[in-house]
Structure 1
Amino acid sequence: MQDTEAFNDLAAALQQPADLTFEIPDPEDEQIPDADFLQQLDVAWQICDRFDLQTEIWRGRILRAIRDREKKGGDGRGTGFLKWLKEREISKSQAYSWIQLANSADTLLEEGKLDPKAVNNFSKRAFVETAKAAPEVQHMVSEAAQKGDRITRREVRQLTDEWTAMSSELLPEPVKEKAADNSLPARYIAPLVKEMEKLPESHQKVLQKEIAANPDVDTLKQATSEARQLAKYLKSAAQVQALTQEDVDIEYALEEAQRVGCLSIAADLVNQASQMEQTIAKLYMTWKKITNLADRLYVDTGASTPNLRSLLSSIEPLGGEIMELQLSGATEHTIRLQIQEMN
């Protein structure tokens, strides 16, 4: 009986138009000061943003219910769920994005981190950012929202940066002290922590010594760039077969590059080597495909298709063991490549 009443209430709600009627100021009315004009539009925009957030949370809850029902009584492949999405022209990625938003909303509400009425103080993007943030950041954002503050993505990111600057164990005390008195902006500290988290402990310690000795903005920027290069180097090195086959000690090579001041060059070299190997693999797969397609086209054509045969004759050499290509520029070069398959 209660379910029937709830259904009737929802059906009745659909008969009423959404309360989204605004008085948009006339853009040609020169009597309205620019500041007032923009403020009126900003208020209308915030209402739309809030309405959009509430709508998408409920869409996520609806889709989650359909998906869960399908898991329990469907064919196990989600056919009914996918059919439902198709009928409403909703992509699978969009559906799961809404479900994730609904899950985040329910988690924040159920754990008591957020009052339901405070949801209206968030922009949609700010709410998503909050759901992804650390519990401590969620608590700070929720407190601000419940006091009536307008929460945008910028505020969430700022609080996230501040919490990172104060809590990360990767930062030496001199940096934390300057972060606490705002002499070092958190927006410079958070990117450094993010990059340092990707590094082995030995390289973290080197960077920690640098920023502890000179805890200023320029040093933080330099350390962030250096950490990014280190992470790039390590990621690329793990993918280079030439290095793994020769059993090169990547860590020591990296330390030496850092010591002699050529870290960026070494990182770029390793990255280019990784790209080179990937390009060779892609070239081989493309070469095989050209060979197979040329063979199929040769079988399907004959004297009645002279132009198609001409096209085949021109492209077919690219599937041979030796390929030639002219590179034009300041001076022309002919590149000859030979591919040999070996077991």
Structure 2
Amino acid sequence: MIYYLLFIPYFLASILSIDIFFRRALRPVAFISIFIMVFFAGTQYGIGDYYNYLSIYKGYSFSDFAVPFFTSYEHGGTGHEFIFSSLAVALQSLGFPYGVFFILLSVVTVGGKLLFLYKFSPYFFISLVVYLAFIYLKDMTQLRGAMASSIIIWSTIFIVRNKPFYFILSIFFASGFHVFSIVALPLYWICISRFSSSVVVLGLIVSYFLSFHSSFVQFFLNYADNDTLGYIYRKVEGYYHGDRQAEVNPFGSGSFFYVFVILFCIYRKEKIFSYSPLSWYAFIYFAYGFILYILFFDLSIIAYRSLEVFSHLALAFILAVLVKVETKFMRLFWWSLSVIYASFFAYVKINDVAPYRSVLFSSY
């Protein structure tokens, strides 16, 4: 029920915000919304990786420190990246309770993403509805990936400002929370290339071709060096031969929606880029995540992580930009598609998620 209480008011605000008068009137509400969503994320407990992170918080010490991963893996199966673990150890050493660690991460992850949308999205509440539908529930349960994706979306600023060193630094920083972030390194050079549209189209063709004819993951396991890649190789191997989790369908309705958005954005490249280069770079991030999703179709945990880290927040921004740059019928089309599709997706996700539990109203 609590998730509907969050979603429905913002859904109504997304309708009102199309009008310039209401959009201006709702600006203070937008800022308050950021606080509300950070509050709900920071005070929840017991969902997703909550207890795994608790094990790390209580069990690690700086004697386990190593780059890129802490050396002891006995405290759960995830969360060994050195910045994430170091932050946990530092707060624990200073005597802070686990709740402070969780709230701090929630403020930076959820708050960082919403501030990006608040600052750059032309229609904040449209972006907010898409964020709620596609990302928010995941951000509440898997904070490492949420932190990494928050850092990654802000790295677009360094592409706009032509600062490759800071871009690389930000990606390495994100990988200190989730090692998967390291695959973002090519994005700088894809974004600044004048052939970026062609790279996206080629990536789509190749990824779909491979999904028909072979397995990229199987190729990796056959030819990658286990001794060199170590922990990463073992993780991929464990995922591949273990529980595949949710099925990935490269030809489902969701994939069709993503492909349609990608092709339309390429068709409208000049309009999107003229609105702001940041918009185009965010689109490249979105397309990059979807291409990885198709490429890792037979390893669902990596496929869905690609969407979560690269695509979903960028999609929340891009859909609002399309509403802004289009006129008349097409503006109405993109607003309707964005809000209605997000609402349907939210309904499915909310009914499938564990009930919300708060440290303020529950005993634990």
Taking structure 1 as the reference length, what is the TM-score of the superposition?
0.23
> Which one has the bigger helix percentage?
2
Taking structure 2 as the reference length, what is the TM-score of the superposition?
0.22
